Amino acid sequence: MNYTIVYYTRDGSTGIAADYLADVTKGKKVQLEAGKYLNNFILGGFNSASKKLPKLKGDPWSGISDAEAVILASPVWAGNGNPAMNSFIDQADFSGKKVYILSLQADPGKKAQNSVLPLVAEAVKSHGGEVAGMLAIHGTSPGKRAEKDYIENQLKDWKLS
């Protein structure tokens, strides 16, 4: 299956996950880039809580045009989906694609998975995608990068097919 991993990372933990998933699936990666406010912890959290959608740089949507399966990987901010990923999904066409959703959360208990993952899944479905799987893993505290082994060990049993 032809995979594309679409991801947003600020501190690097989601980038580690994207690298691992690209290796496992032999897929290509599309990194989302948005305005500077997303790199600011306070402003990024505020915009996440207010559900403001930033403008993304370039044309990341073209990166999924030939994919059969798309993995959306992003951190959870302020108990919500990541603004950059929300912007991507808002303009994406997932028709005919299997979509896997991965969230990295600062909370070791991953409490936001019960609210964030279903909302992302509904958004994907409303843009024509088939949600094939969802997974929440623990990343680390905001402003820090999780260890590579820690991220990879949480992903190794995720069934992508």
Q: Does residue 122 lie within any of the structural domains?
A: yes
The residue segments making up the domain with residue 127 are: 3-155
Element (H, E) at 136: strand 130-138
Q: Does residue 98 lie within any of the structural domains?
A: yes
| Nearest CA-CA partner of 30 in 3, 64, 6 | 6
Q: Does residue 23 lie within any of the structural domains?
A: yes
CATH (domain of 108): 3.40.50.360
- Give the bridge partners for 133, in sequence order: 100
What confidence score (pLDDT) does residue 40 get?
46
pTM, whole model, 2 decimals? 0.89
Q: Does residue 91 lie within any of the structural domains?
A: yes
Q: What's the total number of domains in the chain?
A: 1
Residue type (1 letter), 10: R
Mean pLDDT per block of 10 residues along the chain (161 residues) reads: 94 95 97 69 46 82 97 85 90 97 91 88 97 94 89 95 77
- Encoded tokens for 154: 């949480």
Residue type (1 letter), 119: L
Q: Does residue 161 lie within any of the structural domains?
A: no
Q: Does residue 160 lie within any of the structural domains?
A: no
34 three-state secondary structure: strand
Q: Does residue 124 lie within any of the structural domains?
A: yes
What confidence score (pLDDT) does residue 48 get?
47
Q: Does residue 19 lie within any of the structural domains?
A: yes
